[in-house]
Structure 1
């Protein structure tokens, strides 16, 4: 296993790694707090969180397996060279484990808070079901030859695919509602910071080793950073440029026309003299008794 050539770069690598963990870990809380305060998840797309659970679980399986399993590490070195470093750090494992738990917390909030009639879509449920079916089949394919590196690379590919599609329902929801109300922008800003720190961490490792193998050896981590940055920029554009301060479902302010009563007062403005006149005319029209 390779060692670090520069102590400052090694320290910077660790700092960036834990900054990534802190940013991505804390990014879960603004949405949870917002849901708790509103006692509602209206504005948060449910499919986004369902797809995210599959993504985070797949990423946890990949990170934990490569970080803790010596058998998988041996297969990694045999493929990429014993002079390389494994592209997974402790903060990656901590982050993915934490986010699985936080995603489950949000899904619990979905179950108990006001949803505004929103449900998980059939397409999202079908997508998740198919993905886990594929993962199960791959497990039994890898089992005879103990192709564990290949298997966890499948989970890494799954998390990349889920990262690419999981944000789409939320972006579409914001577009259709013409608002980001109910979707925490604080979480987006922290998520964006985590993506930048994560990519920078890999770059520091490559600079120290004089090799970009860790990028090709962990394409999932690279794409995770880039896709996250892209969608977070989209969400920021929606929040600050397209729909700044817009509250979805807010009633428009009443204008002068809508403030008028259904029956105009002038149409029933009858004086006492007119009422007396009507009474007299009605009395005269009655037939006299004989």
Structure 2
């Protein structure tokens, strides 16, 4: 029995947005599956924030068909707003209120009622490890604590889809990893995350799918591994127990870079399963045993630079 296809949290077709003569978004097509983390990457000025603003009903578009949580942001913006949460790059926390008061204020804005609002605030303070800090003014919080409180405030309305715009900017490595854990826990609970970030490691670590946006155009989409295979430089490294096996492998494979001192061969490869299977089959035909095998692919930094830094050399396309 096959699993049903995932439902779509965001569907975009032909999205366009301009400011005067400047085209910010130029006919974008995009799908984000429910219960996944989708990351939008691109250089400053690529149009990432504009796209989030359109999808979250903050601004309108010039053309295109959009569905967010099953609703049209133009025809039914209230339904979209009821289904989403937005956490921006800059915290919306009121520093003059305590953590608990910030959460209760959000509950009031969602018309939850006083008792339910306090219950929801207490639950979120515990969930985000802020119980001890809940009675202190948010202005005394560390950057990581404010970010956790900011995200907790977004969850007061129980959104099914959350837009996270640069959620870990300025955080130390430990606080960043705490946020990563929280984000994974949210998705495990069924929430969909639309993430923009300048930390490519963050997208690599978290995202189920990634899209690169440059000059208002989506130039590539796919999983992190698919995107890495777009860029030359990937290879398979084989190490052998002795020089005889090394020589036999070199004869079987050809076109490999030899390091006799290390008893290794380096074979250009896209890192895919098919190419790896073919390589091992050729060695098996010669009964050559491999002592150690490792696959090396470019990282997302390499992909980012190739796709946005040298657009004339980039692979422009979409992995569906």
* CA radius of gyration, larger in: 1
Task: With the length of structure 1 as denominator, give the TM-score of the two structures.
Answer: 0.26
Higher relative contact order by CA 8 Å / sep ≥ 6: 1 or 2?
1
> Which is richer in strand?
2
